[in-house]
Amino acid sequence: MAEASKQAQAAPRGVAVRCRAATAVSGVLHSGRRLEEALDYQGLGRSDRALLRELATGTVRWAIRLRTVLDDLLDRPLPRRETEVEALLLVGLYQLAHTNIPPYAAVSATVGALSKSKAWARRLINGVLRRFGREPGQRLAAADARSVGVANAHPEWLVIALEAAYPDAWQGVLDANNQAPPLTLRVVGDRAAYLAELAAAGIEAQAHPLVETAVNLKSFRPVASLPGFPEGRASVQDAAAQLAAPLMETRSGERVLDACTAPGGKLAHLLSQTPDLHVTALDPDSDRLDRTRETLERTGLAPEALLRGDAARPQTWWDGVPFDRILIDAPCSGSGVIRRHPDIKHLRRPEDVGPMEDRQQALLEGLWPILRPGGKLLYVTCSVLPEENGERVAALQQAHPEARAEPLPQQWGRPAGPGCQILPGEAGTDGFYYARLRKETP
Ligand SMILES: C[S@@+](CC[C@H](N)C(=O)[O-])C[C@H]1O[C@@H](n2cnc3c(N)ncnc32)[C@H](O)[C@@H]1O
C-alpha cells in the first residue's frame, strides 16, 4: 500500500488513521495476516491508536457483511489487484454503518487516504460511500437477506457447524462473536482493594460476578499504565480463561506439567495460586516462549523448567517422573475467541479443523501415560467446536478406560461430552471448553 502510505505521511491525522486501518484490513483479507501483526501503531497518539484499533477491528469483524453491501453498490466488480481500494471502501462502509463518526468526516477522511494521482478511485470511493449513506438501512437489509452468514458476518461453514452443535444457542454465539469484548484483568491478591486502587486512579471497573479473580474495565486503555500491572499484580486474561488454574486443584509440592504454556497466562496464574509447585512448562514456539519469559519476568514468577519442545512426544524432554497434574491448553481453531480476534473469521478454513483434531488427540494420547495414577489432567480449548473438545476427550477415554471424567462446577456452561462448554458471551466471557480427567488407580 505504498501510495496510500505516502499520502498518509503528508495527510491530516484522521486520514492517516484510515490509511493504516485499510492497510491492516487488507493484510488480513488479502494476505492472510493476523490483525495484531498487520496493525501499525507507530508514532500515533493515544486517541489515534484507539481510533485505528476500532476501525480496523470493526471492519474485519463485519467484513463479510460489508463486502456483500459493497458488491451491490458497485456497478462492476473491482479489479482483483485493487486490494487497497477495496479495503478503504470497507473501512468507509464500516464507519457509516457501525460508528457515530459524522458521515461527511468519514467520507472525506477515507477518500483522502488515497493519493490524488488515483483520481478514479477517489471518485469511486466518494460515490459509493455517498450512495450507501443515502439509504444505509435498505442497503444493509438487502445484504442481510442473502444468507445467515452474511447477515451475521460469519463464514458459512462456521454458521453450519454452530447450528449443528448448538441448535438452541447458535444465534447467541454469532451475536456474542460480533460484540467488542471487555478488557478483563486477573487480579492477584485482594480484588476489592485493587478495585479501590482503580477507582482512585479514575478507572471505572467492576468485579466479575462469577470469577473471583476477574475484573472488567469499563473501557479499553493501555495496560502498562494500569495500577499494579508492571509488577504483575494484574494481568490481562479473559474471565473464562481464569477458571483453568482453580480447576487444576494444585497443592504445594506437586509436580505439574503446563504442556502448551505460551504466552504463559495460565502458567502465571498457577504459580501465583499455589506456592512451591514444581512446574515444567513447555511450548514448541520460540517466539511465544519469549513472550512467556516476559510474562514471568513481569510477574516475578518462575517455573522449575521452561522448555522448548513437543508435548506430544515426551520421550524428547521428559525426565521419567510422572506428573500429579497436567494442563493441556491445546492449540485450537480459536472459534471461542472470535470477538477478541475477528480475523479468525477470515483466516480459519474448514480444512484446518481436521489437522487440529489430530494434534489435540496426539497431545492427549502422548501425555496421558505420564500422569501418575490418581493424578488429574485438565483439557482446555478456546474452541466451541465439539470435534476439538468433547469428542477428543471421549476418544481418549475410549482408549483408556481408567480416564474418569470429574464433574465440574455447575454454574458454568453446559455439559459437553465428558466436560463443559462455555459459550462466548456467557457471563460476558469468551468461549472455552474444560474437561478434567482423573487417572483411576488400576
Ligand atoms: C492456547 S495456546 C496456550 C495459551 C497459554 N496456555 C496461556 O494461558 O497463555 C496453545 C499453545 O500450544 C502450543 N503448542 C502447539 N503445539 C504444541 C505441542 N505439540 N506441544 C506443546 N505445545 C504446543 C502453541 O505454540 C501455543 O502457544
**pLDDT tens digits for range 182-200:** 999 999 999 999 999 999 9
Q: Measured in angstroms, how far is the CA atom of residue 258 from the centroid of ligand 1? A: 9
Closest ligand 1 atom to the C-alpha of 244? 8
pLDDT value of residue 12: 58
Q: What percent of the chain has pLDDT over 70?
A: 97
Reported pTM = 0.95
| Atom 18 (ligand 1) nearest CA | 310
CATH code for the domain in which residue 193 is found? 3.30.70.1170
Same domain, 367 and 390: yes
CA distance 236 to 259: 21
Same domain, 103 and 126: yes
pLDDT value of residue 115: 80
pLDDT value of residue 402: 98
Same domain, 106 and 221: no
Give how far Cα 342 sits from Cα of 171, 235, 281, Å. 17, 22, 29
CB 82 within 8 A of CB 47: no
Q: How many domains would you assign to the chain?
A: 3
Give the residue, out of 186, 235, 260, with the most ligand 1 atoms within 8 A of its beta carbon, to mutate for a pocket test: 260
The one catalytic residue in 19, 260, 382, 420 is: 382
Which residue ranges have their beta carbon within 6 Å of ligand 1? 259-266, 282-285, 288, 310-312, 329, 331
Q: Answer yes or no: is 211 within a domain.
A: yes
Same domain, 266 and 223: no
More confident residue, 69 or 3: 69
Task: Band the pLDDT of 7: cuts 50, 70, 90.
Answer: very low
pLDDT in tens, 123-163: 999 999 999 999 999 999 999 999 999 999 999 999 999 99
Same domain, 209 and 262: no
Q: Measured in angstroms, how far is the CA atom of residue 61 from the centroid of ligand 1? A: 25
CATH code for the domain in which residue 37 is found? 1.10.940.10
Domain that holds residue 349: 241-439
Q: Answer yes or no: is 218 within a domain.
A: yes
Same domain, 75 and 191: no
| Atom 25 (ligand 1) nearest CA | 285
Is the pLDDT reported for residue 2 higher than 50?
Answer: no
Query: Which domain-ending residue is among 208, 236, 264?
Result: 236
Q: Answer yes or no: is 158 within a domain.
A: no
Same domain, 411 and 347: yes
- Exposure string over 188-213, b if 16+ CB within 10 A, otherwise e: beebeebbebbeeeebebebbebbeb
Q: Measured in angstroms, how far is the CA atom of residue 364 from the centroid of ligand 1? A: 13
Same domain, 69 and 140: yes
Same domain, 219 and 122: no
Same domain, 269 and 380: yes
Q: Answer yes or no: is 116 within a domain.
A: yes
Q: Answer yes or no: is 319 within a domain.
A: yes
Closest ligand 1 atom to the C-alpha of 313? 19
CB 338 within 8 A of CB 175: no
Query: Which domain-ending residue is among 236, 255, 270?
Result: 236
CA distance 129 to 111: 9
Q: Answer yes or no: is 174 within a domain.
A: no
CATH code for the domain in which residue 370 is found? 3.40.50.150
Q: Answer yes or no: is 175 within a domain.
A: no
State the DSSP H helix or E strand holding residue 156, giving kind and residue range, or none if neither: helix 156-165
| Atom 19 (ligand 1) nearest CA | 310
Closest ligand 1 atom to the C-alpha of 285? 25
CA distance 331 to 334: 8
Q: Measured in angstroms, how far is the CA atom of residue 264 from the centroid of ligand 1? A: 9
> How many helices (H) and strands (E) in the chain?
18, 13
Active site residue 382: yes
pLDDT in tens, 341-380: 999 999 999 999 999 999 999 999 999 999 999 999 999 9
Same domain, 222 and 137: no
Q: For residue 68, give the C-alpha cell.
A: 456483500
Give the residue, out of 213, 283, 333, with the most ligand 1 atoms within 8 A of its beta carbon, to mutate for a pocket test: 283
Q: Answer yes or no: is 170 within a domain.
A: no
pLDDT in tens, 40-52: 999 999 899 999 9
pLDDT in tens, 394-407: 999 999 999 999 99
Same domain, 36 and 69: yes
- Rounded to an integer, the average pLDDT of 266-270 is 98
Is the pLDDT reported for residue 5 higher than 50?
Answer: no
Q: Measured in angstroms, how far is the CA atom of residue 267 from the centroid of ligand 1? A: 11
Is the pLDDT reported for residue 437 higher than 90?
Answer: yes
Is the pLDDT reported for residue 1 higher than 50?
Answer: no
Query: Which domain-ending residue is among 134, 153, 172?
Result: 153
